[in-house]
Amino acid sequence: MTQMLAARAGDITPAMRRVAEKENVTPEFVRQGVAEGTIVIPANVNHKNLDPTGFGKGLRTKVNANIGTSTSFPDIAKELEKLQVVLESGADAVMDLSTGGEIDRGRRRIIEESALPVGTVPIYQAFLENREKRGSMIAMSAEDLFEVIERHCADGVDFITVHCGITLEVLKRIKNQSRITDIVSRGGSFLTGWMLHHGKENPLYEQYDRLLEICLKYDVTLSLGDGLRPGCLADATDRAQIQELIILGELVDRARARGVQAMVEGPGHVPLDQIAANIQVQKTLCKGAPFYVLGPLVTDIAPGYDHITAAIGGAVAAAAGADFLCYVTPAEHLGLPTLEDVREGIMASRIAAHAADIVKGVPGALEWDKQMSTARKALDWDKQIALAIDPRKAAKFRQERNPEGHEACTMCGDFCAMKIVGQYLGKEPETC
């Protein structure tokens, strides 16, 4: 029985209880959200060491980190090192987007070593295997694709990105749209090439019921991918993007009818003033399904700093109702991220998520800031570092840039505003 079917039967599962404990809400609140589909708990029955996490309405905004090999860098060991950084940096989920090396072995190692929910994009492997076996990615058949999907699910993957909303009708829209960047989704481009070459409908759309059966078997959550997400500001919120979203909303209904959990992925590159509208449209068309957004990136001109452009958009998106932020690293658009890029991307997204949680009134969010303010007033550096979203970096800066035993920081030195005012007001720092 899936988490959704159990919730509808009135059962509170151990996963629901664990999510409630982590979120400081009642188990019944979680059960009701899962039953309605506004909360998902990706929890494959074969992921044995999973610490369940909830995504959706009324819960803390979550952050995903992508790792994975490429054809240029196929070393699994490097990606397992990144997984450790993901775990240490406080991400809430990890996706294996591998396209090189021993993909099956790498995925199984990641699932084995991760207590976080693990996601994948099975179509990557399906196309790559056909290139290796038959010399062409477009030689893939629907059977090939569904075999790889079931392989991922059997291994214990908790959620899968599937680009079910790209149909032949939608592709007509993009042809007439005159986009600058056309399709920037890797999975979306693979499927589009296959569909146009064969003149056939998207098998993920045409055989959607088959996909649901696989998800039911393993309790895998669908992450309905945005294959036509905008790759630049000029392409944002166009007809192709919205038509795909309409189809995804219909597919959410069909998943819920079968008891399969589903969330929906979103843009992309979006101007700041369009982000809230994008969230509202998604929430309406998809009937409150959890929204998983990449960024959104609010400008196209910042390679090397796209973790910042994404964090700006992510904060606005989450405050408007997005539930799950996919991190963007400084290396986005430039190359495969390093260990430090992964850490920086996670921290930027976590800051955005927390800023939004304050707006949403998530339990404990504002209290965290109040505790930091009290520690700052008291010049309690140990507590400030402990409360920091990235204690490692805070401790490093404090140690490297201040003399040992120096009470104030070197930014103000002897002219620490809080210390001076506290003395004149008769409020010593340690009493604040």
Amino acid at 188: G
| pLDDT for the residue numbered 295 | 94
Asked if residues 60 and 20 have their Cβ atoms less than 8 Å apart, the reply is no
Asked if residues 17 and 27 have their Cβ atoms less than 8 Å apart, the reply is yes
Range in 140-149, 244-253, 276-285, 397-406 with the lowest mean pLDDT: 397-406
Q: Is 186 annotated as a binding residue?
A: yes
Q: Is 46 annotated as a binding residue?
A: no
Compute the average pLDDT of residues 83-108.
97
Q: Is 179 annotated as a binding residue?
A: no
Asked whether residue 254 carries a pLDDT value surpassing 80, the answer given is: yes
Q: How many whole angstroms separate alpha carbon 427 and alpha carbon 379?
A: 13
Determine whether 276 is exposed, middle or buried from the number of CB atoms within 10 Å of its CB (0-12, 13-18, 19+): middle
| pLDDT for the residue numbered 176 | 85
Q: Is 187 annotated as a binding residue?
A: yes
Of the chain, the percentage scoring pLDDT greater than 90 comes to 88
For 66-79, write each residue's pLDDT tens digit. Answer: 999 999 999 999 99
pTM of this prediction?
A: 0.94
Q: How many whole angstroms separate alpha carbon 99 and alpha carbon 70?
A: 5
Residue 426 binned pLDDT confidence (cut-offs 50, 70, 90): low
Q: Is 327 annotated as a binding residue?
A: no
Q: Is 215 annotated as a binding residue?
A: no
Q: Is 269 annotated as a binding residue?
A: yes
> Which domains are assigned to the chain?
3-360 (3.20.20.540), 365-431 (no CATH)
Torsion over CA: 88, 90, 95, 99 (sign): negative
Would you list the DSSP string of 99-146? -SS-HHHHHHHHHHH--S-EEE-HHHHHHHHHHHHHS-GGG--HHHHH
- If one counts every other C-beta atom within 10 angstroms of the C-beta of residue 350, the result is 23
Measured over all CA atoms, what is the biggest interatomic distance in the chain, rounded to whole angstroms?
Answer: 80
- If one counts every other C-beta atom within 10 angstroms of the C-beta of residue 324, the result is 27
Helix, strand, coil percent content, the chain, rounded in steps of 5: 55, 10, 35
Asked whether residue 377 carries a pLDDT value surpassing 70, the answer given is: yes
Residue 431 binned pLDDT confidence (cut-offs 50, 70, 90): very low
Amino acid at 165: G
Residue 405 binned pLDDT confidence (cut-offs 50, 70, 90): low
For 314-368, write each residue's pLDDT tens digit. Answer: 999 999 999 999 999 999 999 999 999 999 999 999 999 999 999 999 999 999 9
Q: Is 185 annotated as a binding residue?
A: yes
Q: Is 409 annotated as a binding residue?
A: yes
| pLDDT for the residue numbered 34 | 98
Of the chain, the percentage scoring pLDDT greater than 70 comes to 97
Q: How many whole angstroms separate alpha carbon 139 and alpha carbon 359?
A: 49
Q: What is the average pLDDT score of the chain?
A: 94
Asked if residues 358 and 352 have their Cβ atoms less than 8 Å apart, the reply is no
Compute the average pLDDT of residues 405-416.
70
Q: How many whole angstroms separate alpha carbon 137 and alpha carbon 198?
A: 12
Q: Is 134 annotated as a binding residue?
A: no
Q: Is 195 annotated as a binding residue?
A: no
Asked whether residue 107 carries a pLDDT value surpassing 80, the answer given is: yes
Q: Is 432 annotated as a binding residue?
A: no
Angle of CA points 270, 273, 278, to nearest 5°: 60
Asked whether residue 432 carries a pLDDT value surpassing 70, the answer given is: no
Residue 406 binned pLDDT confidence (cut-offs 50, 70, 90): low
Would you list the DSSP string of 211-238? HHHHHHHHTPEEEE--TT--SSGGGTT-
Range in 64-73, 237-246, 255-264, 410-419 with the lowest mean pLDDT: 410-419
Closest CA to 65 of 45, 83, 40, 46: 83
Query: Which are the contacts of 174, defined by CB distance < 8 A and separation ≥ 6?
Result: 182, 183, 228, 240
- Three-class DSSP category at 262: strand
